[in-house]
Amino acid sequence: MPTFAAMAGAEIGAQVQGLDLSKHLADPSRPAARRWFYATSMETPWQTAMATDGKWKYIYSEPNGTEELYDQENDPSELHNLAGEPENMDVLRSVRMRLRTLAGELGDTRILAANGFAKTPVDRASFRVLPVKGMGWRWF
């Protein structure tokens, strides 16, 4: 919202979260205001959180504790989940910790648990029809 407000010349209050990225949009060669970006969707028990630095994108989904890791430079369509690849374990650990840190810093503690992330077991076989409404393309 801060970006749209800046582009429209409007003032917004301090209660609105986010950064003004209008200068970066006007000149993409100009660095963005932060290195990592965080987003979340849905509510417990269907919550999903994401962190990206433009190179790596890590997604954690509360249903079944699903992890995804994408190399956005080499796989911009996010077709190849690298989270289970042994050669990416160091990257996975690093971006997993980054997501935990960002969630804590931003006060989005619903996705966090004492030993990692919140996890809700989901038995896909128990659904006669998959509840995909509002879940985007992910189904766990």
Which three-class secondary structure state does DSSP give residue 69?
strand
Which is nearest to 103 in space by CA: 36, 57, 20, 21? Answer: 36
Specify the pTM: 0.71
The tens digit of pLDDT for each residue in 16-60 reads 666 677 776 777 777 666 688 888 887 777 789 999 999 999 999
How, if at all, do strands 48-52 and 37-41 pair? antiparallel
Domain count, the chain: 2
Together in a domain, 68 and 106: yes
| Residue 136 in this model has a pLDDT that exceeds 90 | no
Same domain, yes or no: 23 and 47: no
Collapsing DSSP to helix, strand or coil, 28 comes out as coil
Residues 29 and 60 in one domain: no
Quote the tokens at residue 97: 């910790």
Per-residue pLDDT at 58: 96
The domain of 30 spans: 1-34
Q: pLDDT tens-digit profile of 97-122?
A: 999 999 988 888 888 998 889 998 88
Question: 26 with 54, same domain?
Answer: no
The contacts found for 113-119 with CB under 8 angstroms, 24 or more apart, are 117/60, 117/62, 117/65, 118/44, 118/45, 118/47, 118/62, 119/62, 119/64, 119/65
